[in-house]
Chain A
Amino acid sequence: MGKTISEKIFSFASGRDAYAGDIIVANIDAAMVHDGTALLAIEAFREIGGKALWNPSKIALVIDHVAPSSNENFSRVHRIMREFAHKYGAILYDAGSGICHQLMVESGLIYPGSLIVGADSHTCTYGALGAFATGIGSTEMAAVLMSGKLWFKVPETIRIDVNGSLPPMVLPKDIILKIIGTIGADGATYKAVEYHGETISAMSIDGRLTLCNMAVEMGAKTGIIEPDEKTLKFLLSLGVKEHIALKSDEDAEYAEKISFNVSDLEPMIACPHSVDNVRSVKEVEGKEVDQVFLGSCTNGRIEDLRIAAEILKGRRVKEGVRMIVIAASRNIYLQALREGLIDVFMEAGCIICNPGCGPCAGAHQGILAPGEVCLSTSNRNFKGRMGSAEAEIYLASPATAAATALEGRITDPRTFLKR
């Protein structure tokens, strides 16, 4: 019987013939914790008698959620993380380096065929590089830090084929919002989501990362894309030569197959308060906003900054609207500087913060007051996610974010196509 790419990765990692539904123990290739999850993991590591890390060169601690710290409790958490990384020799990405998921992608720790766990639900992002990557909790992370192993239920897979060429100003974010709106917030629970099709082949690595990042918003264990020439070229640019060339077999079994044609896709938007409450931007155009956030592990990469800057160039953000721009990593920030994008954002009146998670998780750098409306390029619009439970969050693409910031109300970015 044929296997999906996920079944092949779990077979390789467990040393047995693994199929969907099997419960297996697998070797982990790399692991990540951040400041929102590290304290519980470090405490559990101590409690279970951890004396050494299974492989310090494969374990990253990232300070990104409250970075730099905005409160004394987290200043203490950060100090504990620094001391832990120093004591056991793990990799430390300190405040200002960027968001854990972007840093992992840039780190060279991830390669096609690898099995990665992170104590963060958006760990599924790395599937864009052909890895099987999934989020876990802090206590089981402690066990991984010690042993390099973890139990898994090998997931069934939903195959999603995406074909057609994207119209101007319609972006990978619009594709994934369309998919989540169709499948629903729990439509892929416990399953892997495999993306195929000519649109995916034509898509940049940045776009693929956006697609895989949001797989968890439909409940998926991971999003995954078979590695191709583009993947290998990207990895080579990071100095990564290691890869296991894997593809799903023709006769692999899928739980479900769904196809999308994106040639006529419009800019999409997730409305409050759930990610699967998706409409076209046109349907909610005109809704006034107080804040726009461009950034996050979903849309804080260079292509996201470029498209936003293209729209903002020579224009001003609407008076009374705060537009916050945060690059997903220091490398991306530097690239944006070199390309003059930071100048464009500053001249347009944006607020530029240091690389990190920013306001996405509700810690700082743009917390919403009751009654405020935010349009964000991030991945979650849950009630209370970015501050007050009485605030509203809309999720959309970087292009929609820029257009909305200029107009002060939700705006279809195609408005700026021929101005």
Chain B
Amino acid sequence: MNVRVTGRAWKFGDNINTDLIIAGKYKLSITNIDDLSRHAMEALVPGFAEKVKRGDIIVAGKNFGCGSSREQAPLVLKHLGIGAVIAESFARIFYRNSMNIGLPALECKDVNRVSDGDILEIDLAEGCVKNLTKGEVYRVKPIPPALLEILVNGGLVNYVKKYGRLPW
């Protein structure tokens, strides 16, 4: 997979929960990922699914993805083309899910320096985020090697397909 992601920042606050990412009323009635993705983040940004472009990046505060274990949360974001989620911190199940489906989840202390609409460039290998709009560079917390291995192979399913075994 690409270790370089470039796109527009979509800025959100703290405690963005899984119901805000994809509400239970949709998750528990729609099983087709195209149809489900249309409702991603809709309570926060009406029409989010139509507005995002491939490579766009979600930037949020603390505890992103708190709440449910639903893997549909990172899945709808990835399906819409979101290239990465950067947050001050993540809820643990969302973090694991995101890596397991191949959507980079990066912890960064400088998220408050990013404004909505900034163009960001993420270099996973370098472990940094470049804010092309503001001309700044932010460090991200290194991803544990075992997880990075899953992520760079495009997630757990692709890892198993490639190596014919589980990573552990």
Contacts and interface: CB of A to CB of B under 8 A. Distances in A.
Interface stretch (B2-10, B18-26, B113-121): B18-26
A139 B92 contact: no
17 contacts: A37-B69, A37-B70, A37-B71, A73-B31, A119-B69, A136-B96, A140-B100, A140-B156, A153-B144, A186-B14, A189-B63, A219-B66, A221-B92, A361-B68, A383-B19, A384-B23, A389-B43
Given A44-B157, A76-B31, A138-B71, A186 B63 contact: yes
A121 B97 CA distance: 12
A139 B155 contact: yes
A66 B25 contact: no
Contacts of A71: 29
B19 A384 contact: yes
Interface string A2-43: 000000000000000000000101000000000011011000
Contact of B20 (A40, A76, A189, A382): A382
B166 interface: yes
A185 B24 contact: no
Contacts of B167: 151
9 smallest beta-carbon distances between A and B, as pairs: A362-B24, A186-B63, A137-B97, A363-B28, A48-B160, A382-B19, A362-B25, A389-B43, A361-B24
Contact of A361 (B28, B30, B31, B75): B28
B62 to A, nearest CB: 5
Contacts of B101: 139
B156 A139 contact: yes
Contacts of A363: 24-25, 28-29
A150 B70 CA distance: 18
A208 interface: no
Contacts of B25: 362-363, 367, 384, 387
A121 B93 contact: yes
B30 A383 contact: no
Contacts of A121: 67-69, 93
B97 to A, nearest CB: 4
B128 interface: no
A84 interface: no
Contacts of B168: 25, 149-151
B161 interface: yes
Interface in A97-138: 118-121, 123, 135-138
Interface of A: 23, 25, 36-37, 39-40, 44, 47-49, 65-66, 70-71, 73-74, 76-77, 118-121, 123, 135-140, 142-143, 146-147, 149-151, 153, 185-186, 189-190, 219, 221, 274, 361-363, 367, 380, 382-385, 387, 389
B71 A219 contact: no
Interface in B63-120: 63, 66-72, 75, 89, 91-93, 96-97, 100-101
B97 A139 contact: yes
A48 B67 contact: no
Contacts, number: 143
Contacts of A219: 63, 66, 91-92
A70 B31 CA distance: 14
Interface residues of B, number: 43
B130 interface: no
A47 B161 contact: yes
Interface string B127-168: 000000000000000001010000000011100110000111
A76 B31 CA distance: 10
Given A23-B146, A65-B28, A385 B93 contact: no
A221 B97 CA distance: 14
A387 B26 CA distance: 10
A74 B29 contact: yes
A291 to B, nearest CB: 15
A56 B80 CA distance: 36
A379 B71 CA distance: 19
Contacts of A37: 69-71
A40 B161 CA distance: 17
Contact of B28 (A66, A135, A138, A190): A66
Nearest to A364: B28
B50 to A, nearest CB: 18
A266 B68 CA distance: 29
B5 to A, nearest CB: 21
